[in-house]
Amino acid sequence: MTIPNQIPTASASPDLPLDMIIFGGGGDLSARKLLPALYMAHLHGNLPPATRIIATGRRDWSRDDYLGFMNEHSKPFVDKKALTSAGWDAFTGLFDYVRIDAGAADDYASLARVSRPNALRVFYLATAPDLFTTICDQLAASGLVDEHARVVLEKPLGHDLASAQAINTAVGQHFAETQIYRIDHYLGKETVQNLMVLRFGNAIFGPLWQAPYIRSVQITVAETVGVGSRAGFYDETGALRDMVQNHLLQLLCIVAMEPPVSLDPDAVRDEKLKVLRSLRRMTPDEVARDTVRGQYTAGAVNGEAVKGYLEEDNVPPGSRAETFVALHAQINNWRWAHVPFFLRTGKRMQKKVSEIVIEFADLPFSIIPNGASHAGNRLVIQLQPAESIQLQMLAKEPGSGMRMLPVNLNLDLEQAFTERRAEAYERLLIDVIRGRLTHFMRRDELEAAWAWVEPIIESWQASGERPRSYTAGTFGPAASTALVARENLTWAEEA
């Protein structure tokens, strides 16, 4: 394959000084996630010795103004146990601030002046995706993109398939695919990475990990938070684009993929791509039958009264944005034929829980008197709030009879390993610096995910129906229960 000559080939760049350049440095994501993650990476000696962090933004700030912003908006998100004033001072000492208006060529000249010639440059684009193309064009025009440069693209990458393709093509004019890190922070979570070890490091699950031994798979990411101050973004986006297109589909891929030949980035991403391509595309009738969209109304979460979505600040009157999605996906391949995959996510739900529930098939026949064929074997992989793996099974109740009761084999990963766990962003930022692409999405993978959600978005738009209401503090609309009930199943919390 020939690479057009303006695109540099990625270099391993092991010993270069690092210039980390953050676009959207004054934004919410930087304040809450990126800067605290970089603080921890610095504290634990995981940044190269000569690191500089250059925050950029539209505001006409001095370096001191930016440090003031960090103090007020970012420091509160650093783990209290790890925060010391000496540590914070050493960390803020790495920073510079450059005012950049994304489209203004002159502003990039200022960036070029402060950036070191022979550094590993990581451009972190924590901005709206419609700026990605302009920023990359300008970076290249200012001579800042060489073989040592890397670019990190935050989600959501685009708004639909066409916009995602356009961004990928535009970024690909200046960066080789191996220099592009499309981030999905779920891939940086400890338990998500552990899922690979559970599946491919243990012999016992392999033979059972397929139809007909698995009856169903449920993937839930339930949040108690509402839309908060992000209505401007969220109302345009909705839960399907914000959570399903990326986080939930990535979890589905790791559960469903074939064993990759190695952990090399392309080996893993090839297998995930095959899963995405095997997902049955829904027709409009199937969208109507197999998806449920909801929007929260006023209620109570954790004992506190909360507003409905339509009453939140900056939500347009009568908004049809969904804050909840449940859907029944099918993977059309040999391993998963006829195994329903139920995906569900929502804001203002009863409790915060992210988990994958693998429900195993029933017994072919029961020899236990009065024993049902329903074995109730489930493997529950909880990502948050706790990191645990539970195997639910039946055991004999002690005594003279043969009564069976459900019991759990419970692996609490936080007790089993007491070492500090890096947050997802910290882990992924270190991967970027070290040039490890396995936990980032490749172009074809991201576009395949868009291609699958697009007919759902289109059918919802065409139907013109409002999302179903659900009371804040519940697990979503009743139709979500009905969705799984059609397969004679229940959601995990109802079991």
Active site (catalytic) residues: 247
Which residue has its beta carbon closest to ligand BG6?
A: 242
Least separation in angstroms between residue 123's CB and ligand BG6 is 20
Smaller CB separation from ligand BG6, 67 or 357 = 357
Smaller CB separation from ligand BG6, 19 or 223 = 223
Contacts with 339 (C-beta within 8 Å, 6 or more apart), sequence order: 211, 214, 215, 216, 217, 330, 331
Least separation in angstroms between residue 413's CB and ligand BG6 is 17
Least separation in angstroms between residue 336's CB and ligand BG6 is 25
Smaller CB separation from ligand BG6, 118 or 229 = 229
- Residues near ligand BG6 (CB under 6 A) are 223, 242, 354
Least separation in angstroms between residue 354's CB and ligand BG6 is 6
- C-alpha pair distances (Å), 461 with each of 229, 235, 282, 327, 342: 25, 14, 14, 16, 22
Name the β-bridge partners of 409: 391
Smaller CB separation from ligand BG6, 61 or 186 = 186
Least separation in angstroms between residue 319's CB and ligand BG6 is 16
Smaller CB separation from ligand BG6, 214 or 349 = 349
